Amino acid sequence: GNSVTQMEGPVTLSEEAFLTINCTYTATGYPSLFWYVQYPGEGLQLLLKATKADDKGSNKGFEATYRKETTSFHLEKGSVQVSDSAVYFCALRGKAAGNKLTFGGGTRVLVKP
């Protein structure tokens, strides 16, 4: 079946540091890949997505590239802010699974001033 594995947190950074959150997946065929973010007390929000190999999703300074050869979709941001403190979830949607999302376990990121 489909599965997503992402690095465990918490990840603690200083403001303006570089952030990388690793995400790898297992799926049949070519799924669509997503990063969702959950700020404290709020629901999940779509951060970015990629629907085919070599696509790069980007939003709010975050980027992730769909790497079929390594089955990865790592999230990066060059200079984090305190407001980026949140839990980040990597997810996939299989082609044959309706619209069902399979999520990783989430990575908590804490950015200190």
Partner 1 sequence: EAGVAQSPRYKIIEKRQSVAFWCNPISGHATLYWYQQILGQGPKLLIQFQNNGVVDDSQLPKDRFSAERLKGVDSTLKIQPAKLEDSAVYLCASSLGGQGNIQYFGAGTRLSVL
Give CA–CA dist 31/11, Å, rounded. Answer: 27
Looking at the Cβ atoms of 14 and 53, the one nearer to partner 1 is 53
For the bound state, the minimum distance from the C-beta of residue 80 to partner 1, rounded and expressed in Å, comes to 22
Residue 26's contacts (CB-CB under 8 Å, 6 or more residues apart) are 2, 3, 4, 5, 71
Give me the amino acid identity at 65.
Answer: T
Position among 29, 69, 70, 99 found at the interface with partner 1 (CB under 8 A): 99
Give CA–CA dist 67/54, Å, rounded. Answer: 6
What would the x/- binding string for partner 1 be over residues 69 to 98, using CB under 8 A? --------------------x-x------x
Residues that bind partner 1 (CB under 8 A): 4, 36, 41-46, 49, 89, 91, 98-101, 103-106
